Structure 1
Amino acid sequence: MADEEPTSIWMQPERHERSGPGRRPGYSREQITQTAVRLADAEGMEAATMRRIAQELGTGAMSLYRYLPRRDDLFDLMIDMAMSEVELSDGPSGDWRSDLTLLARQIRATSLRHPWLVGLLTSRPTLGPNLLRVHEYALGAFDGFGLDIDDITGYVGMLDDYVHSATRRELGWLEEARRTGLDPERWKQDYMGPYVRQIVESGTFPLFNRSVLDSRTAHLAPVERFRHGLDRILDAIAALITSSRGHAVGQAEEP
């Protein structure tokens, strides 16, 4: 008999076990996922193995597969648990730019708390309830403006791509700082500084020189750099909306 095709964890009923005399208490998906998130936050995704999680819970690794048939199921649950931390209002306000700014900053903050999150989000399709809640909010920010759904999904995709890329780069700097023991500013000054000065003095790359010497954004703090880039993405979306509709869009139209 052929193996059954795997089904989404969101379609699999939660297993509940009652503990009895002489039996160890059962576990839950939430307990297992919380343990995995804690390990991944502290030591990286490579630490969040079923064996290590089982050790933390005081059980055998095989027992966890009664709750999560595949490790991929664990990844989906970890993503959704992290996304539950994204705090949003009950619905969009009607000011799409304000709504998406709030959303982008929330996702960045959540991703910095969970450095493994962006890697999972951008490497696997998943549709847990909390991720859907966030995505629906992003789509809903454009609702009421008479925009085509293809345009709406495209604009949300632009925002996602920027937030994930910018946050991944910021996390890379933080990881390098942990590895070398230098904070990003010290790393740039002490390690890269002499070489950059040599490049500048050579005059070989004049536009690079301008980006180092004259650029204001090159010297912004990470959060300010993120906000600057976010504003440019939102400016681009606003221009695309204006081009497609022939006039600027700010607030949702009256019904």
Structure 2
Amino acid sequence: MADQEPMSIWTRPERHERSGPGRRPGYSREQITRTAVRIADAEGLEAATMRRIACDLGTGAMSLYRYVPRRDDLSDLMIDLVMGEIELPDGPSGDWRSDLTLLAWRIRAAGLRHPWLIGLLTSRPTLGPHLLRVHEFALAAFDRMGLDIDDITGFVGMVDDYIHSAIRREIGWLEEASRTGLDPERWKRDYMGPYVRQVVESGAFPLFSRSVVESRTAHLAPDERFRHGLDRILDAVAALVPTLRSR
């Protein structure tokens, strides 16, 4: 690539070269990133190569490296562009639970619109401005609770981990169902069902069997399952806060 300098894309000013008197550059980071996101949404993250992006833009790949020098830069830009879709109030409402619930559902919506997002977001550290805005909102939701910053960041990390893992699991089920040509419910019933019944009837895994046969949450719709898990995480936070305040 044109530039291998280990420097964050966020510290690099965007280039605005003129190729002739009065002429603006042909491309921008945003244009390149939006094209990459569109390709990744339609065909998967692996398809969003610089060569493919350049093809869609009608140029050569090398010309785009002036704007986005490295693959990691493109990943960071893609993450941040999608995080910019997450609409949040200017500041927390004062009801931390309501604020975090709102944030969780909006992150889930973005993750389901862009199935590659959570895998990429959790695979590398990145601190783009839109991601920082979302993270700041989560931190601020706890800021008036009398907690120290270690507890605040710990709680935000715990909630983030639940949100990300729940979305990844949901996307995984959807992708597996898609590969078999079945809708998710038919995939569970027709593809996995016979084997699960065999396991239950064997008696070899009694607790797993109970989790399948007796558990209500195992049979919830995806949005209901997400809500149930999020509520339990927030219940745990609420139970811990008085102890942490009294230290």
Sequence identity percentage: 81
Which residue identity is paired with 1:155?
A: F
SS at match of 2:91: coil
TM-score normalised to structure 2 length = 0.94
The reply on whether 1:7 has 2:28 as its aligned counterpart is no
TM-score normalised to structure 1 length = 0.91
**Would you say how many aligned residue pairs link Structure 1 and Structure 2?**
244
Please give the alpha-carbon distance, in whole angstroms, between the structure 1 residues aligned to 2:42 and 2:178: 13
> Any conservation in 1 of the 2:40–2:116 contact (CA below 8 Å)?
yes
SS at match of 1:68: coil
SS at match of 1:166: helix
> Any conservation in 2 of the 1:41–1:114 contact (CA below 8 Å)?
yes
1:69, distance to aligned residue in structure 2 (A): 1.3
> Any conservation in 2 of the 1:177–1:183 contact (CA below 8 Å)?
yes
Which residue identity is paired with 1:205?
A: F
Please give the alpha-carbon distance, in whole angstroms, between the structure 1 residues aligned to 2:130 and 2:25: 28
- Aligned pairs for 1:93-112 (under 5 A) are 93-112=93-112
1:125-145 C-alpha deviation (Å, 9 max, x unpaired): 111000000000000000112
Listed as ranges, the gaps of 5+ residues in structure 1 are: 248-255
SS at match of 1:105: helix
Aligned residue number for residue 235 of structure 1: 235
> Any conservation in 2 of the 1:79–1:120 contact (CA below 8 Å)?
yes
> Any conservation in 2 of the 1:91–1:137 contact (CA below 8 Å)?
yes
CA RMSD for the aligned pairs? Answer: 1.8
Which residue identity is paired with 1:11?
A: T
Aligned residue number for residue 147 of structure 2: 147
Aligned residue number for residue 126 of structure 1: 126
Listed as ranges, the gaps of 5+ residues in structure 2 are: none
Aligned residue number for residue 187 of structure 2: 187
Aligned residue number for residue 251 of structure 1: none
Aligned residue number for residue 250 of structure 1: none
Aligned residue number for residue 58 of structure 1: 58
Aligned residue number for residue 69 of structure 2: 69
Which residue identity is paired with 1:164?
A: H
1:30, distance to aligned residue in structure 2 (A): 0.5
1:246, distance to aligned residue in structure 2 (A): 4.6
Please give the alpha-carbon distance, in whole angstroms, between the structure 2 residues aligned to 1:4 and 1:53: 20
Query: Which aligned runs of 4 or more in structure 1 are off by greater than 3 angstroms?
Result: 17-21
Please give the alpha-carbon distance, in whole angstroms, between the structure 2 residues aligned to 1:202 and 1:176: 26
Aligned residue number for residue 86 of structure 1: 86
